[in-house]
């Protein structure tokens, strides 16, 4: 199951970006985004860790979930309040993290 489907099935409204640059463009035009869920390995001018740092710097209230099947959390320079989820992940665990973030 794709992450988008997982999150939508849990009742969250999802905006999908094809790369980090598009994600930033979406964030620049929306004020209703509460969580960014990103993979480290993504195309664009920055990877998922760079996107997370950009989000933290420009939109501090937004919660961050970062995932990867190649890196470990200790290998990444992530914002300290972000949540790292190692792939393969259990969908219900990701949903539980998201639900805690919004409550």
Q: What is the pLDDT of residues 14-69, one digit of tens each?
A: 999 999 999 999 999 999 999 999 999 888 899 999 999 999 999 999 999 999 88
Residues spanned by the domain of 95: 3-102
| Residue 69 contacts residue 88 (beta carbons within 8 Å) | yes
pTM score above 0.95: no
Q: Residue 39, SS3?
A: strand
| Residue 25 to residue 97: CA distance in whole angstroms | 25
Residue 84: CATH number of its domain = 3.40.50.2300
> How many folded domains does the chain comprise?
1
């Amino acid at each position: 199951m794709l992450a988008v489907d997982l999150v939508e099935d849990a009742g969250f409204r999802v905006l999908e970006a094809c790369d980090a640059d598009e994600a930033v463009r979406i964030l620049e035009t929306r004020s209703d985004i509460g969580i960014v869920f990103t993979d480290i390995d993504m195309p664009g001018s920055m990877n998922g860790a760079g996107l997370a740092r950009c989000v933290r710097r420009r939109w501090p209230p937004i919660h961050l979930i970062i995932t990867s099947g190649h890196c470990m959390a200790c290998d990444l320079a992530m914002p300290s309040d972000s949540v790292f989820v190692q792939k393969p992940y259990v969908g219900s665990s990701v949903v539980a993290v998201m639900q805690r973030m919004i409550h």
